[in-house]
Amino acid sequence: DAKTTQPTSMDCAEGRAANLPCNHSTISGNEYVYWYRQIHSQGPQYIIHGLKNNETNEMASLIITEDRKSSTLILPHATLRDTAVYYCIVRPAYSGAGSYQLTFGKGTKLSVIP
């Protein structure tokens, strides 16, 4: 079972920031939060991951609450090409049995509107 809860869908105006929430209230201390997205007819694409500190890269920012029970993926200036399903995934940090699996839920379908 997926260990995360995300809204089914969201809309965002082009050029505005898209803030995608994720609840992971049962996350363990050794689990990372990963975000992937899947554009129509393509495979999932890695976006960003974090453990407890906020992270930023060229694609997005990841804000993790202090208690680590929820996080928000921020796309600072959404474009039409950001229309996709966004998956929030928790995954163990250690390299042991089962740590390599990614357990996808249904994700959030983000529609960027012109």
Partner 1 sequence: GAGVSQSPRYKVAKRGQDVALRCDPISGHVSLFWYQQALGQGPEFLTYFQNEAQLDKSGLPSDRFFAERPEGSVSTLKIQRTQQEDSAVYLCASSSIRAGSYGYTFGSGTRLTVV
**Is residue 23 a contact point for partner 1 (CB under 8 A)?**
no
Least distance in Å: CB of 102 to partner 1? 7
Between 81 and 114, CB nearer to partner 1: 81
Strand ranges (DSSP E) for the chain? 9-13, 18-23, 31-38, 45-50, 55-56, 61-64, 70-75, 84-92, 108-113
Among the listed residues 91, 108, 110, 112, the single contact to partner 1 using CB under 8 A: 91
Q: Order across the sheet with 18-23: list the strands.
A: 18-23, 70-75, 61-64, 55-56
Q: Kindly indicate which of the ranges 16-24, 65-73, 75-83, 89-97 contains the residues binding partner 1, using the contact rule CB under 8 A.
A: 89-97
The amino acid at 13: A
Least distance in Å: CB of 100 to partner 1? 4
Least distance in Å: CB of 104 to partner 1? 3
Distance CA 90, CA 73 (A): 14
Residues 36-55 contacting partner 1, CB under 8 A = 36, 41-47, 49
